Structures are given as C-alpha cells and as structure tokens.
Homo-oligomer: A and B are copies of this chain.
C-alpha cells in the first residue's frame, strides 16, 4: 500500500471518515428510495457500494459505460441512465434493470430497439435549463409513443441544473418551485409513479420530486462548498511542491488533474495564481520547501475525478484503501 509520503503525485485522496459522514448525513435526510445517487460525480463502484450500504441502492448514471460498469459490479438493481442516448443497445445484455431518459421519438426508438435490460423510460422534461428535455406540453405524447413501442413509462425526470448552484437559498427555493411546477404539469400527462429531479444544491428543497439525483454530496467541491450544506469537502488532489521561488512556489498538479470550468482550485493558507498542464503556481505566507506535499481543492469535482485512475482513501493519516475510478469513458 502506498503512503502519503511516497505515492506518485498528483493523486486523488479522499478522507474516509468525511465521506462516511457525508453519506450518513444524506441517508438521514433522504433515506432509501428518496435518493438516487448520481455516480457521474465519482465514477467509482467502490464508493457506490458505500452508498448502497447506507440504503441507497438505486443509482443514476450519465453515460452508457457508467451503467455497464455499475451492472458489472453487481449494483444493477435499478439503474437510471439520466441522459439521452441513441446507443441503448449496449445496455440490452446487462444483468440489470435499466431505465433510460427519453425526450424525442429517436431516443424512444433507440430504447425500444435495445430490449433486454432496457425495460422502461422516464420522459425527460425541460424545466428551465437549456439542455436535454422535451417541452412540457410534449411529454404526454412521448409517453404514449413509448408505451406504443412496448416500453414501460415510470414517470418523468426534470433536472433544475440552472438552480442547484445558486448561492442564495431563497432563490434556490423559489426557482426549484417554479421548475417543479412545470415538471408536475408534465407528470400529470405522463403518468407513472416517479418524479426524478434535484441535485446536491436542492436535495432538501426539492420536495416535489419522489427521488433526488444528487451526486456531489459524497465528495464535495469548492463550488458546492459555498452553499452552507451539511456536507464537507472530502476529496483533494494530493500534490508535491517541485519548485520554490522568492514570491511563489509550484505544485505538480495542473490542467490535466483538475477540472477547470469552475475556475482555479484552492489551497489552504495561500493563493493560486494559475494552472498550466502539469503545474499550479501559488503564493503563500507559510514556509514552503521543495518536496512538501499539499492538498489542492478542486473547484468542480466531476471533471476532476474523470482525469484520475483511483481514489486513495485516507484514514488516520494513512492510505487505508485504493478505489479504482472504474466508470470513466463512454
């Protein structure tokens, strides 16, 4: 087992106790089927097994490969591909029970052609984010089309992705309410008993959904860290100081180990200047020496994790376990 002193950096480390605390906080707030954890945030079946041990056994995936990997790991009780795909045939042979999101006749036909494990759909409804999802008024027609193709229709899905990151809680409440009003209207036309929606930023606000699709809560990042949620930062990029100058120092993590769409990462007691492919230049008042190792907090967890091969689980200051990030790719 590698140690924090000798492990090759950059490496993803997670605080095992904080992950458990986050999973516990979520399972207390949203027990059992009230949460459908989204694996896209961590892409790690070992972590998904920890989520299952807290009673969350039905999962969301964003890619076909995530569904395939979850099924292979024995986590296929009820998998939702919460995304549109024309490639549903890759899901058919799985030892799993798979539901796919659809928002068009083309995606319905792809699901119907797949057969096998793909037994049902959720009609994906646009609730305000300009991305996937049909117009609310088209949802009933699409549900009928799915049924006519022999697919089960479990209900609707509508992700308020334009709301989950708003820092003002009252704004999140107001805008979630508006989004879910749209989704409920569509649900009345669609039928079924599932209303799937929500994310880490609205997990306790979205009481309209029958199940919440949160994922980031398990590991967190600086973006969600601003929202005063009961989940704590549990993942960092572990990095080595490789160069020290008078005014700044340089770490060996950079654009290829950090998702950058939400901006620069953060470090304790210091200021990040900029990131290059394999470097982060920063300044600090603290004394820094070449060879020191530091935790770097990513701004956005999902595209950060997707660069790495493993999560190293730290407990009592030591690497206690290594979990492969086995759901990468498509």
Contact = CB atoms under 8 A, between A and B. Distances in A.
A206 interface: no
B8 A84 contact: no
Contacts of A255: 259, 261, 300, 302-303
Given A302-B255, A309-B329, A130 B245 contact: yes
Interface in A253-267: 255-257, 259-261
A281 interface: yes
B85 A245 contact: no
A208 to B, nearest CB: 22
Interface of A: 8-11, 40, 62-64, 83-87, 90, 103-104, 106-107, 126, 130-133, 135, 161, 240, 242-245, 247-248, 250, 252, 255-257, 259-261, 273, 275-279, 281, 289-291, 300, 302-303, 306-307, 309, 329-330
Total copies of the chain: 2
Most B C-beta atoms less than 10 A away, residue of A9, A40, A103, A248: A103
A242 B100 CA distance: 13
Contacts of A107: 242-243, 290
A141 to B, nearest CB: 15
26 contacts: A8-B330, A9-B330, A10-B330, A11-B330, A40-B278, A62-B277, A63-B278, A83-B242, A83-B278, A85-B242, A86-B242, A86-B290, A104-B243, A126-B245, A130-B281, A131-B276, A133-B243, A252-B330, A255-B261, A255-B303, A256-B302, A256-B303, A260-B260, A260-B303, A277-B303, A309-B329
A130 B85 contact: no
Contacts of A277: 40, 62, 302-303
Contacts of A40: 277-278
